[in-house]
């Protein structure tokens, strides 16, 4: 061995050893050091948020006062030290500021004021009962569960409300798209936390001697409540966000509240002056089949060419299902079955989609359905045959990269659909499949919410809409002063 190379190796060994020693030493001193100058503030905040359960109780009691977002103060280290060694009311305040740092108003896309509606409008519909005067569940400890099965497809209201509540809960780690503020004057939008789809699903029928169903009662009360609010009158409701995802939800109230921004599944049952893309946001259904994750079957391992499972009794646009059924029912590599996906069929449908290359999404009695989203999370390339469908987040997602669109008038031509699908070969299909894997997480609802999931995508879509709302409101203000005099 060359002696020089030996020396070099020895030298290197010492250098490495010394640097490891220095690293360990500096970590040790950092941890012991009472000053926190060198620890990134956000890291410290996480640790602190977790250790201060008694503080957070205080924090809750005082939150009306402290949680509000003032223009964020410049981040200073000293605030942290105060928080570390005192245990008074001041701490609650600092924790509030800690949150602000974790999710400050510069980072947050959207400042949201949420009405403290009585719980019968939201979690009360899930059977949740708080303590006396408690309106909201403590989302750090327990979240009331939403009924499963097909109810879940319209649970948008639930996930958004939970996300807002958690935006003020130290210790819940979530992205910073939306943050709840307690002073409505500081908010970009006003959120109406009414679980309208659940109210429709659970309370449309009359019980006992009722003359008017609970779902209608709630909607009427909601309208009264909103009309009395200063926040509603200020902007004529334009900056209000109302979730009405089930196509039949909010039937009583939708006309009276039509100036607000609705979060909808589609516009199928709305007149255009009440709901339209200019002011409203299309939100995805929550999928009901399980996500396949990233190890989904490639082209070769999907024996079924096209998959459809759906209900037969459909009006209007649904006629096309009958025609397609007649065209496709005898094809060997096509699964075309009628029968609505009831709960025990959900897993079956999931398996079917995960072993199909294409999943048909055919207009039913409404232009949209959860089937599209079930297909996406099964990484089964959706074939959309629904001329009036509106797609969530289409301003930021190009669906043609991972869906095939076919006009209804073409789809019912003999041979058209199958020729088209058989003509899409392995490479082209795989490109769409890869894209599906990239975008599928945009359609996941979860708590706590994660970066880029459905909850965050919805807040971002609301933020993109709201600037035009503010433009309109500001324009209306132009002659406000002159009118006061005149």
Ligand X SMILES: *[C@@H]1O[C@H](CO)[C@@H](O)[C@H](O)[C@H]1NC(C)=O
337 makes contact with ligand X (CB under 6 A): no
Residue 350: closest CA among 308, 289, 297: 289
**Identity of the residue, 229 or 437, whose beta carbon is nearer to ligand X in the bound complex:** 437
Structure-token match 């009311």, residue found: 89
Percent helix, strand and coil across the chain, each to the nearest 5? 45, 10, 45
Contact 247, 266 (CB under 8 A): yes
Q: Which of 345, 284, 340, 352 is nearest to 310 (CA)?
A: 340
Stretch that binds ligand X, among 182-190, 272-280, 299-307, 352-360 (CB under 6 A): 182-190
Task: Measure the CA–CA gap between 381 and 306, rounded to whole angstroms.
Answer: 9
Alpha-carbon gap, residue 10 to 33, rounded angstroms: 34
Minimum CB separation of residue 187 from ligand X in Å reads 10
Q: How many residues bind ligand X (CB under 6 A)?
A: 10
| Residue 448: cis peptide before it, omega within 30 degrees of 0 | yes
Quick one: 343 or 428, whose CB is closer to ligand X? 428
CB of 144 to ligand X, least distance (A): 21
Residue 437 contacts ligand X per CB under 6 A: yes
Taking the C-alpha atoms of residue 399 and residue 392, their distance in angstroms, rounded to an integer, is 10
User: Any residues with CB less than 8 A from the CB of 3 and at least 6 apart, and which?
Assistant: none
Q: Residue 42 interacts with ligand X (CB under 6 A)? A: no
Smallest gap from residue 84 Cβ to ligand X (A): 16
d(CA 61, CA 66): 10
- Contacts to ligand X from residues 108-137, by CB under 6 A: none
Among the listed ranges 28-36, 183-191, 329-337, 416-424, the one in contact with ligand X (CB under 6 A) is 183-191
One of 39, 41, 44, 46 touching ligand X (CB under 6 A): 46
Q: Select the span of 12-20, 178-186, 278-286, 403-411 touching ligand X (CB under 6 A).
A: 178-186
Considering only residues 441 to 480 of the shown chain, the ones binding ligand X according to CB under 6 A are none
- Per CB under 6 A, does 50 bind ligand X? yes
Nearest to 403 by CA among 433, 425, 427: 433
Binding status of residue 173 toward ligand X by CB under 6 A: yes
Q: Which of 438, 451, 467, 468 binds ligand X (CB under 6 A)?
A: 438
Judged by CB under 6 A, does residue 171 bind ligand X? yes
DSSP 200-230: HHHHSS--TT-SS-HHHHHHHHHHHHHHH-H
- The least CB distance from residue 435 to ligand X, in Å, is 9
Q: Which stretch binds ligand X (CB under 6 A): 82-90, 152-160, 180-188, 310-318?
A: 180-188
24 in contact with ligand X (CB under 6 A) = no
Q: Which residues contact 482 (CB under 8 A, 6 or more apart)?
A: none
Of 1-9, 157-165, 181-189, 260-268, which part binds ligand X (CB under 6 A)?
Answer: 181-189
The mark string for 382-421 relative to ligand X (x by CB under 6 A, - otherwise) is: ----------------------------------------
- Closest contact distance (angstroms) between CB of 381 and ligand X is 15
Cβ atoms within 10 Å, residue 331: 13
Contact pick of 42, 185, 276, 477 for ligand X (by CB under 6 A): 185
Out of 8, 183, 276, 477, point to the residue binding ligand X (CB under 6 A).
183
Which 3 state secondary structure label does DSSP give 405?
strand
Closer to ligand X at the Cβ: 46 or 126?
Answer: 46
Query: What's the token pair of residue 336?
Result: 């075309």
Nearer to ligand X, 64 or 276 (CB): 64
Distance CA 459, CA 177 (A): 6
Smallest distance, Å, CB 186 to ligand X?
6
Task: Provide the binding-site residues for ligand X, judged by CB under 6 A.
Answer: 46, 50, 171, 173, 183, 185-186, 294, 437-438
């Amino acid at each position: 061995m060359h002696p020089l190379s030996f020396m070099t190796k020895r030298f290197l060994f010492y250098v490495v050893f010394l640097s490891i020693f220095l690293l360990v030493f500096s970590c040790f001193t950092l941890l012991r050091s009472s000053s926190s100058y060198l620890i990134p503030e956000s890291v410290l905040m996480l640790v602190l948020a977790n250790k201060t359960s008694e503080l957070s109780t205080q924090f809750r009691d005082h939150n009306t006062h402290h949680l509000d977002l003032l223009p964020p103060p410049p981040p200073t280290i000293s605030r942290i030290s105060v928080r570390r060694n005192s245990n008074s009311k001041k701490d609650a305040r600092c924790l509030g500021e800690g949150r602000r740092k974790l999710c400050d108003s510069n980072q947050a896309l959207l400042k949201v004021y949420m009405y403290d509606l009585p719980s019968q409008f939201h979690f009360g519909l899930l059977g949740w009962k708080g303590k006396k005067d408690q309106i909201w569940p403590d989302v750090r400890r327990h979240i009331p569960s939403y009924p499963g099965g097909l109810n879940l497809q319209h649970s948008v209201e639930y996930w958004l409300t939970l996300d807002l509540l958690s935006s003020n809960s130290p210790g819940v780690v979530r992205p910073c798209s939306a943050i709840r503020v307690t002073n409505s004057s500081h908010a970009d939008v006003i959120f109406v936390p009414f679980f309208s789809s659940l109210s429709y699903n659970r309370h449309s029928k009359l019980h006992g001697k009722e003359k008017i169903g609970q779902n209608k009662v709630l909607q009427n009360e909601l309208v009264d409540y909103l009309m009395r609010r200063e926040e509603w009158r200020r902007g004529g409701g334009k900056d209000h966000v109302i979730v009405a995802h089930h196509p039949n939800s909010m039937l009583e109230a939708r006309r009276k509240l039509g100036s607000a921004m609705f979060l909808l599944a589609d516009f199928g049952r709305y007149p255009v002056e009440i709901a339209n893309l200019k002011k409203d946001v299309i939100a995805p259904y929550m999928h009901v089949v399980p996500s396949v994750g990233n190890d989904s079957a490639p082209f070769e391992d999907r024996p079924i060419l096209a998959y459809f499972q759906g209900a037969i009794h459909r009006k209007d646009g649904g006629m096309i299902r009958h025609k397609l059924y007649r065209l496709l029912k005898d094809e060997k590599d096509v699964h075309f079955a009628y029968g609505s996906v009831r709960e025990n069929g959900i897993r079956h449908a999931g398996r079917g989609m995960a072993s199909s290359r294409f999943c048909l999404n055919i207009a039913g009695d409404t232009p949209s359905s959860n089937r599209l989203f079930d297909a996406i999370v099964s990484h089964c390339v959706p074939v959309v045959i629904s001329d009036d469908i509106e797609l969530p987040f289409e301003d930021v997602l190009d669906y043609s990269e991972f869906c095939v669109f076919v006009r209804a008038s073409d789809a019912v031509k003999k041979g058209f659909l199958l020729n088209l699908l058989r003509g899409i070969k392995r490479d082209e299909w795989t490109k769409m499949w890869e894209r599906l894997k990239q975008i599928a997480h945009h359609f996941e609802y979860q708590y706590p919410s994660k970066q880029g999931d459905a909850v965050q995508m919805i807040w971002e879509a609301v933020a993109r809409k709201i600037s035009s709302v503010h433009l309109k409101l500001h324009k209306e203000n132009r002659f406000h002063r002159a009118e006061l005099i005149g």
